[in-house]
Amino acid sequence: MPEWKSRDTARARSLRQVATPAERALWQYLSRSQLGAKFSRQMPVGPWFADFLCRELALVIELDGHSHDVAPERDMRRDAWMAAHGFAVLRFANAEVFGNAEGVVTAIRVEVERLRTLKGRAHP
C-alpha cells in the first residue's frame, strides 16, 4: 500500500463541486458507508484523482463519460499504475449508473465483500 502524502485539497474540492450527474447519483449510494465501506470522493491517489476511493480496501471506483472514450490509453495507464500500487479498480460508464444503478451498486458491494474476505476481515 503506498504511503499517503498531503492532499491537493483545493483541487479535490474543485472536482467535487463540479461532479458529473453520474458521480452525484452514485454518491447517494456510497456516502455514509451504506455499502459497508467508507468511500471518499475525488481523492488523490499517486498522480491521479480517483472518482471514489475506499482507503481501507484500496478500492477505486471510476465513472467514465465521453472523455474516456476519446483517450482509452490514458485509462489503461492509470489502471496499470493503480494495480501496480495495490489498488483494485472498478469502472462503470455513466450510462450504467443511470440505466442500471442497482447493478452498479451490487457490483461494488460484491467487490467490497471480496476484498474484505481477502484481507481476512469479514464484515457483519
Q: What is the pLDDT of residues 75-96, one digit of tens each?
A: 899 999 999 999 999 999 999 9
Average pLDDT, the chain: 85
pLDDT in tens, 23-55: 999 999 999 999 999 999 999 899 888 999 999
Ordered structural domains, the chain, with CATH? 9-118 (3.40.960.10)
The dihedrals phi and psi of 4, each to the nearest 5 degrees, come to -85, 130
Neighbours of 15 (CB within 10 A): 17
Placement of cell 495507464 in the chain: 77
2 or 114, which is more confident:
114
Query: CA-to-CA distance for 78 and 74, rounded, in angstroms?
Result: 6
- Average pLDDT of the segment spanning 18-25: 87
Nearest CA among 55, 64, 46 for reference residue 88: 55
44 or 17, which is more confident:
44
Neighbours of 62 (CB within 10 A): 17
- pLDDT of amino acid 39: 97
- pLDDT of amino acid 58: 97
Q: For residue 116, is pLDDT > 90?
A: yes
Query: CA-to-CA distance for 40 and 51, rounded, in angstroms?
Result: 8
DSSP letter for 18, please.
T
